[in-house]
Amino acid sequence: MKGSWRLLSRRLHLWLGLSVGMILVLISLSGAAIVFYVELDQWLHPELQVPMPQSGEPDWDQAVRTLRASYPDKTGPWRLEVTPELQLIPARYNQPQETKGQHFAPLLVWLSADGRQVLRQDYWGQSLLTWLYNLHYKLLLGATGTLLLGYLGIATLVLLISGLLAWWPRRGQWRKSLVFKARSNKVGLLYDWHKTIGLCCLLPLMLLTATGVMLALPGPTQTLLQVLPGQKPNPGLLSWQTAATDAVITPVIPLSEAIKKIRHEVPQAILAWIEVPAQSGGYYQFRVQLPGDPSRRFPHSYIQVDRHSGALVRIQDIRERGSSETVKNWLHPLHDGSVGGIWLRVVWIFIGVSPFLLMFLGLWRYYERIQRV
């Protein structure tokens, strides 16, 4: 019985590798391909290669006018991205009629920094990089694919742990187990390569898998995180139905005025996304990065501004939302590597390729072994 757990680990690792491994390779390679998806998408579309604007601030008011004039049927809220370079104004309309019924397929529009020209438009999932993104986080299967990936991620964690247990050295054999041996035996040589790559990539792979599972399964994740101390109630954001609807009577302030108000009242906030309310009513809503928030592109603090008076009506500060929200705030920047800048993202590309190498070596070794039987 002494070695039974080791034998069980080897068999579990083998059969999970032959089943879950295929999907793991698909997901990891697609993940590696989209680490720099924003930069690659821009590079693939020369029409977006425009010179930097002379002024330091895009013309947000003109951008809103251009969107409303160019897409008169899109009367709902538009989301504008505030990029660090301020070279373009990417915008999204989340529920276009053209892609109704799809899980997530917003209309994507890129405007020049002066807001006057539509440089490109597309629908999410119809360009190469957004198609790869859909493959990575939902297997092209919508909400069902995201759920499936979450549970496959749990199986992947078992695969990784079983591989570690299958290798785990006996007492007194640690140095021998860690050394890459010079072998003439092909099966043994393939094992050494598989072992070495697996041990080097184990912790990053477990981190990427665990954060991916938590992102794919928000319900179970929230239940799990509720055991942490320091929980606080989430006040939520105000819905557009609670906003004043007397747009005809009361003038609507321009977006630039709302931005000035934000920068005056909350000067430490870095703008990431701006939601322009629907023509029927609503609030200006700003998604902002506050000190201590690891995510630049998708921070978790929000500020809502009354579009008539310019008053700040709700601030949802991630620093005041409890321990579970703090943990969730780290999931995305850890998973996409953005928290570590360009170098962590480069490392994540190599880690994303490693499951392919591990599976290739494992299958080759398995083939060589059965050939000898």
Asked whether residue 143 is domain-assigned, the answer is yes
CATH number at residue 254: 3.10.450
Asked whether residue 39 is domain-assigned, the answer is no
Q: How far apart are CA 62 and CA 106, in angstroms?
A: 22
Q: Which domain holds residue 161?
A: 4-34+135-227+333-372
**247 and 301 inside one domain:** yes
**161 and 223 inside one domain:** yes
Least Cα distance to 351 among 212, 132, 203 occurs for 203
Q: Give the chain's domain count.
A: 2
SS3 226: coil
Asked whether residue 315 is domain-assigned, the answer is yes
Long-range contacts from 88-94, C-beta under 8 angstroms, 24+ separation: 88/42, 88/48, 88/50, 88/112, 88/113, 88/119, 89/58, 89/60, 89/63, 89/113, 89/115, 91/63, 91/67
Residue 207: predicted pLDDT:
97
Which tokens belong to 44?
């693939």
**260 and 190 inside one domain:** no
Residue 247: predicted pLDDT:
46
Q: How far apart are CA 165 and CA 9, in angstroms?
A: 6
Asked whether residue 28 is domain-assigned, the answer is yes
Which of these three, 280, 296, 321, is where a domain ends? Answer: 321
Asked whether residue 257 is domain-assigned, the answer is yes
Which of these three, 321, 348, 363, is where a domain ends? Answer: 321
Asked whether residue 105 is domain-assigned, the answer is no
Asked whether residue 51 is domain-assigned, the answer is no
CA 85 to chain centre: 20
Single-letter residue type at 298: F
Asked whether residue 160 is domain-assigned, the answer is yes
**348 and 271 inside one domain:** no
Alpha-carbon distance values, 63 to 109, 117, 208, 256, 359 (Å)? 11, 8, 37, 11, 49
Q: How far apart are CA 174 and CA 256, in angstroms?
A: 63
Residue 55: predicted pLDDT:
65
**10 and 154 inside one domain:** yes
**151 and 294 inside one domain:** no
SS3 57: coil
Residue 2: predicted pLDDT:
53
Do residues 88 and 110 touch, judged by C-beta distance below 8 A? yes
**201 and 312 inside one domain:** no
Least Cα distance to 230 among 324, 328, 319 occurs for 324
Do residues 353 and 29 touch, judged by C-beta distance below 8 A? yes
**25 and 149 inside one domain:** yes
Residue 173: predicted pLDDT:
83
**172 and 286 inside one domain:** no
The pLDDT averaged over each successive group of 10 residues in the chain (373 residues) is 76 91 94 95 90 78 97 96 91 94 92 94 95 94 94 96 92 81 80 93 97 96 88 75 53 92 95 94 94 92 93 89 88 94 95 96 88 69
**153 and 216 inside one domain:** yes
**268 and 301 inside one domain:** yes
Which of these three, 297, 321, 345, is where a domain ends? Answer: 321
Q: How far apart are CA 173 and CA 181, in angstroms?
A: 14
**217 and 258 inside one domain:** no
Task: Kindly state the helix (H) or strand (E) to which residue 118 belongs, with its residue range.
Answer: strand 118-123
Residue 3: predicted pLDDT:
57
